[in-house]
Structure 1
């Protein structure tokens, strides 16, 4: 009887923990979906003029339109695009009014790395962004080959002598450059998979608890005989 009671209590406690973890992940899923919906709404809002004072916390994903001159000089950031392969993001300084910002013009294949691109007067529509692409495994830029491995906005700005403000273009700026606009595809949302995992483990736990209870009862009946 004590053995059966112990198995029952242990089984119910474990089942409760696993189910609660699954419910928590479902709640996190709802929260994350709300966050992504808010980001999508902000990304797709009507564009405004570039603010005089730009703050990362307040202006991340802000849609803006700027007019000015694309300056010569560019940085190539190594990237891979699904169903296309490896290539580079083209980052260039853009002069608008009396200030210079960075513009991520988009993607070119490896073979077009050093192809001349349009500069001069143009109008660009896009979103302000401060990508979080750097960790301890990110290599240092290969300055001799002009190949960077992340969009490190402060260092890019220092290299191109601009403000640490990056505009990700949504509108084309050159026939040979494909815009890679800001979206939420790169923001992880794995809470549904986690919830399924926890609920699956809870189901297995319940089945194993039932099995051990049955074995314990069968063993007790056998001992009594």
Structure 2
């Protein structure tokens, strides 16, 4: 009798814990769903808007991901092709590199992701046709720097191996001086040559939070059913 009571108490505690755990995870996924829907709406509105001026240096410190990322911006300056950086990329076109080129403007330096090149076209000669001399106007999407790396692969400035678009580290390695805390993903067709390929910013976000929420709530319901069965067995055992 004592063993049965101990077992029922354990099952009651377990079912109660699982119901609370799964219910909490379901609520968290609902909150994530609301966040994801707001993100999608915000990004869609920004990428389809006409380009506005890029933030000036006096506004760089106040830039935030929520308020500024994916804004469609325009900036005018001169490219410093000698200081380009290739950043490892895996895209719908396959593996390759993002070509990050400093743009020297009248007010400061901004790194521009001019687009994608495949691994076999990593030589500057392969994209020589796209190099524009003199002042140019660049339009694209404002993106936040990536100082935390990508897929846990740290950048290696000494070996000139870059896996994330960490503008601060790139600026330091290239001796660029102060740069904007963001970079610009250039629009499609921004380069006169075939390479780099611009306009490849991923602006479609996977949204499976509702499915996850329903799964967690279903597991919570099953835990409650288990709790009810344990309580019923205790009453029957009286």
TM over 0.5: yes
For the residues of structure 1 that align with 2:207 and 2:141, how far apart are their CA atoms? 22
Deviations 1:45-91 (A, max 9, x none): 22112333342325433321223332222110001113x32100000
- The alpha-carbon distance between structure 1 residues 13 and 140, as it changes in their structure 2 partners (threshold 3 A), is closer
| 2:168 maps to 1:141 | no
For the residues of structure 2 that align with 1:151 and 1:59, how far apart are their CA atoms? 17
- Could you list the runs of 5+ residues in structure 1 that have no partner in the other structure? none
- The alpha-carbon distance between structure 1 residues 168 and 215, as it changes in their structure 2 partners (threshold 3 A), is same
TM-score (norm 1): 0.76
Matches of residues 81-160 of structure 1 in structure 2 within 5 Å? 81-82=91-92, 84-97=93-106, 99-114=108-123, 115-117=126-128, 118-119=130-131, 120-121=133-134, 122-132=136-146, 134-135=148-149, 137-141=152-156, 143-144=158-159, 146-158=160-172, 159=174
TM-score (norm 2): 0.72
Q: In the TM superposition, what is the alpha-carbon distance from 1:23 to its structure 2 partner?
A: 3.3
For the residues of structure 1 that align with 2:21 and 2:103, how far apart are their CA atoms? 55
Question: Which structure dedicates a bigger proportion of its chain to helix?
Answer: 2
For the residues of structure 2 that align with 1:27 and 1:99, how far apart are their CA atoms? 39
Query: In the alignment, is the contact (CA less than 8 A) between 1:7 and 1:213 conserved in 2?
Result: no
Match of 2:165, SS state, is coil
**RMSD value over aligned CA atoms?**
3.4
Q: Partner residue of 1:48?
A: 52
| 2:97 maps to 1:78 | no
Which structure has the greater CA radius of gyration? 1
Matches of residues 1-225 of structure 1 in structure 2 within 5 Å? 11=15, 15=19, 18-53=22-57, 54-55=59-60, 56-57=63-64, 59-73=68-82, 74-82=84-92, 84-97=93-106, 99-114=108-123, 115-117=126-128, 118-119=130-131, 120-121=133-134, 122-132=136-146, 134-135=148-149, 137-141=152-156, 143-144=158-159, 146-158=160-172, 159=174, 161=176, 163-164=179-180, 165-172=182-189, 173=191, 174-185=193-204, 191-213=209-231, 215-216=233-234, 220=237
- The alpha-carbon distance between structure 1 residues 81 and 15, as it changes in their structure 2 partners (threshold 3 A), is same
For the residues of structure 2 that align with 1:142 and 1:9, how far apart are their CA atoms? 56
